[in-house]
């Protein structure tokens, strides 16, 4: 969990930014591999879990000056226009945001849609076998 730092045009809609130093010292996220879900604490999810968006984590430094300025202590920064995609407003600066990579790591969120579907089918079939159901 981290505070919301604001939005920036330095980021694409599929990206979230966090100060590079804070990302390295306070998390186990690997920006090259991990894709994360973003939830605003105290707000219900609009999308079902399997249709949720996954974001690339961008380590912020002086190469993205506007976003970097919004994350001096490791605050999460979203792309400008993200509120339009979410269908509701963004939190106020300083409000808590949950960054979660558990689901993405389990289902390999970086997989192509075809690969994602294959993995999901395997997991569902495995669950059905565990319960003794026919697949």
pLDDT at 68: 98
Residues 6 or more apart whose CB falls under 8 angstroms from that of 33 comprise 110
3-state helix, strand, coil in the chain (%, to 5): 35, 25, 45
Q: Considering only CA atoms, which of 73, 75, 53 is closest in space to residue 8?
A: 75
Q: pLDDT tier at 85 (50, 70, 90 boundaries)?
A: low
Question: Are the C-beta atoms of 99 and 2 separated by less than 8 Å?
Answer: yes
Q: For residue 121, what are the domain limits?
A: 107-135
12 with 42, same domain: the answer is yes
Q: What is the pLDDT of residue 124?
A: 76
Angle CA(79)–CA(28)–CA(102) in degrees, nearest 5? 75
- The domain that holds 27 is classified in CATH as 2.40.40
For the stretch 2-41, pLDDT in tens is 999 999 999 998 899 999 999 999 988 888 888 888 888 7
Percent of the chain with pLDDT over 90: 37
**Averaged pLDDT of the chain:** 81
Count of structural domains within the chain: 2
Q: How confident is the model at residue 118 (pLDDT cuts 50, 70, 90)?
A: confident
Q: Domain check: are 50 and 71 in the same one?
A: yes
| In a shared domain, residues 88 and 57 | yes
Residue 62 and residue 92 in one domain: yes
């Amino acid at each position: 969990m981290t505070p919301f730092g604001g939005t920036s045009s330095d980021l694409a809609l599929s990206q979230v930014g966090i100060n590079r130093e804070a990302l390295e010292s306070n998390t186990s996220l690997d920006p090259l591999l991990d894709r994360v879900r973003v939830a605003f604490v105290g707000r219900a999810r609009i999308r079902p879990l399997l249709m949720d968006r996954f974001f690339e984590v961008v380590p912020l430094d002086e190469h993205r000056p506007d976003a970097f300025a919004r994350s001096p202590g490791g605050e999460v920064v979203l792309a400008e226009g993200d509120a339009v995609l979410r269908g509701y407003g963004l939190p106020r600066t300083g409000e808590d945001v949950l960054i979660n990579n558990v689901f993405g790591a389990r289902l390999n969120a970086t997989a192509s849609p075809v690969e994602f579907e294959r993995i999901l089918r395997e997991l569902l079939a495995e669950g059905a076998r565990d319960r003794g159901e026919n697949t």
